[in-house]
Amino acid sequence: MKIDLRSWLTLLALSLAEGLTHFGQIYPDSSQYIATALYFQGKGDISNFAFKTLLRPIIPLLAAILGRAVEIGAAFGIINLVFWCTTCLLMFEFAKFTTRNATTAFVSSVFFITSVPILFYGASILTDMGGYFFILLAIFLILRWDLPRASIQRILASALLIGIGILTRETVVSVFLVAFIWAMVSRGSLPKVFLLGAASMAIAVLWTTLSGTSYWTWFISQTQFQSTYQHLTLTERALTWLQTIYLAFRPEGVLLAIVGILVSKKDATLKTFATMLIGLAGFLVLTPGVVDYRYTFILFPAVLPLAGMGTIAIGEYVSRLKLLSGHIAKNPSWAKLISCLIMALLVAYYVVETNRIALRFLSFPWKPYVTPD
């Protein structure tokens, strides 16, 4: 894989700028993760209210290790910031692979870095950022290695990574639906997909056995929460998920993605994006629990590259308008300049708008903890 060093460095700089100014936020669940990390450090028994976080041990365990050197809350922020930066680079390579266009990949990555869920939750004392990383990594492996046709070695290697991902955040399970649908539309091997799922879940179940936790207990608690606080029919739940898309991707992001869908129909990438959208959306609709835009954001591997494609298409469309054609005919380089200017304006508007929304959550490293109202 050839590395685009200039793009990587630019995206890393933007990730650090956003991550360090939205660092270490404390949310209602944060105390549970801190308690779990302290438990891994051998500092007391884990309380009942923090026990469910043992189903997500990876980030608390890493925080417990790093917490030997820094304050435990800062350890969570640092680890999630590393996931933030790594996911940003992975997003660039993934979008470049799916869209076959480095400029589209760069725009998609900027949208990821500056999206509302990432600004709010990316470097917080939670496990969302790790979940986003492993969802993207797993889908990248499914498509790049074409896992329904891959060797057993690649399937087992992928299963190991996905198993670790599930122990970071249960939402990573959503990638199995993507793998299943991809096998169906590409006429791949369903037994290989089942092997991928079984081997991944074996890792997660082994941990629950050792830790005394249970995914069944988690499932029941999610169902009870839904019936108590969000008693919705399946149709109402689907409609509520649609409403959260507005929050997760902003209306401008959704509109750009719709344009991207029209573009993808022409360049034969629609099948790939449809597979991701159907698989991830199906997971959201069918699984119990709270309906929230931080979960809707698991759609980002499909939506953000489409939004990048839409941005490029709009820039190119404007540069071809008859109003400008006379000037462009005299100076052909204007077409590219105008296209780049329109794209820059669209991206800049998105970045400014999402940062405006997250403004009250700014928390610089020297004052790292801000509790949202």
Kindly state the tokens that stand for 253: 């992001």
Is 98 domain-assigned?
Answer: yes
Q: What is the mean pLDDT of residues 12-39?
A: 92
Domain presence at residue 109 = yes
Backbone angles phi, psi at 263, to 5 degrees: -70, -40
- Among 116-130, 141-155, 170-184, 222-236, which stretch is predicted with the lowest mean pLDDT? 222-236
63 — alpha (psi -120 to 50), left (phi > 0) or beta? alpha
Our count of domains for the chain comes to: 1
Q: Which domain holds residue 117?
A: 7-360
Q: What is the pLDDT of residue 324?
A: 63
Asked if 290 and 113 touch (Cβ cutoff 8 Å), the reply is no
Q: What is the pLDDT of residue 372?
A: 42
Any domain includes 167: yes
| Residue 365 maps to a domain | no
Would residue 62 count as lying in a domain?
Answer: yes
Q: How far apart are CA 109 and CA 248, in angstroms?
A: 15
As given in the structure block, the two tokens for residue 71 are 């304050």
Q: pLDDT digit string (tens) for 297-354?
A: 999 999 999 999 999 999 988 877 766 666 665 666 667 788 899 999 999 999 999 9
List CB contacts of 316: < 8 A, sequence separation 6 or more.
339
Cross-strand bridge partners of residue 23:
123
Q: Does residue 157 form part of some domain?
A: yes
Rounded mean pLDDT, 32-60: 87
The first and second tokens of residue 255, run together, are 């509109």
| 366: pLDDT strictly greater than 60 | no
> Using CA atoms, how far apart are residues 150 and 191, in angstroms rounded to an integer?
12
Q: Tell whether 80 is covered by a domain.
A: yes
In this structure, is residue 138 part of a structural domain?
A: yes
